[in-house]
Amino acid sequence: MVKSHILLVPVDVIIDSREDSKNPEFRRELEEKGLRVAVSKLEAGDFYLPAPPDKRPLLIERKTVMDLAASIRDNRLWEQVRLLREAAERDGADVLIIVEGWLGVLEKYRGWRIQSVLRAIDTVILEYRVPVLNTPSKKATAAWLAAKAKSLGAVGEKRVFRMRVEKKPMSIYDRILYVAEGLAGPVLARRLLKRYGTLRRLANATVRELMEIEGIGEKRAMEIYRILNTRWRVGEED
């Protein structure tokens, strides 16, 4: 697919329009700190920090601790990280995820095991090669964004941002992996596809057969089996 582009004048920070609609205080605080801010729909991420030609721009995804927990629970985190990394690579940018808030709140008030949260974060860092920065609050995130944007140089030195407004379609293999990752996460998805080859064969696997895959215990095997074999009904939830 040929992608069209929109040229923007040099700015210090570009905020995704969806993020700006939910959290307009970021734009206000950054502008109060003397930064030139633009709001536009980003292909991925919440913030984009342009840079001069001799430096790399930065694409940033911001998640609250609760957002992170929801993404882990629904197995959406891995696809989000993949899309973020791919968008950054296409633009020659570095990538970063900001997790905002105290991780311990999930264990203290939501009953999560902290090791499960940390395991997900270390997968993002070590397997997807995406660094994660933890900030204590929204105000701290805004302060960091301002400091980082200023460290990349004066606005007049920064490259004009070319925003893609069309996405490259996923290949059939990307779509297969996407489905499998939604069932089991990035690591186990690849093990399942390596064992079964196709989603049809995976769907026909028994719980006992699924448990033969390294890293899949009875609980996870039952969950995968139920997802693949439960009849869907409109308006019904577990």
Q: What is the DSSP string of the chain?
A: -PPPEEE----SEEEEHHHHHH-THHHHHHHHTT--EEEE--SSSSEEE---TTS--EEEEEEEHHHHHHHHHTT-HHHHHHHHHHHHHHTT-EEEEEEES-THHHHHHH---HHHHHHHHHHHHHTS---EEEESSHHHHHHHHHHHHHHT--GGGSPPPEEE-SPPPPPHHHHHHHHHHHHHHHHHHHHHHHHHSSHHHHHT--HHHHTTSTT--HHHHHHHHHHHHSPP-TT---
Q: What is the pLDDT of residue 135?
A: 96
Where a domain ends, among 164, 180, 214? 164
Q: Is the pLDDT of residue 165 over 50?
A: no
Are 12 and 118 part of one and the same domain? yes
Q: What is the pLDDT of residue 169?
A: 64
Average pLDDT over residues 123-134: 94
pLDDT top residue among 9 and 105: 105
Confidence class of residue 1 from pLDDT cuts 50, 70 and 90?
A: very low
Where a domain ends, among 130, 164, 198? 164
For the ranges 109-113, 121-125, 156-160, the lowest mean pLDDT is seen at: 156-160
pLDDT top residue among 8 and 75: 75
For the ranges 95-104, 116-125, 168-177, 209-218, the lowest mean pLDDT is seen at: 168-177
Q: What is the pLDDT of residue 2?
A: 38
Range of the domain at 18: 5-164
Asked if residue 134 is part of any domain, the answer here is yes
Are 143 and 192 part of one and the same domain? no
* CA gap 47, 58 in Å, rounded: 8
Total structural domains in the chain?
A: 2
pTM over 0.85: no
Q: Is the pLDDT of residue 181 over 50?
A: yes
The chain-wide mean pLDDT, for the chain, equals 85
Asked if residue 21 is part of any domain, the answer here is yes
Instruction: Give residue for tokens 């701290």.
Output: 140
Where a domain ends, among 133, 164, 195? 164
Asked if residue 67 is part of any domain, the answer here is yes
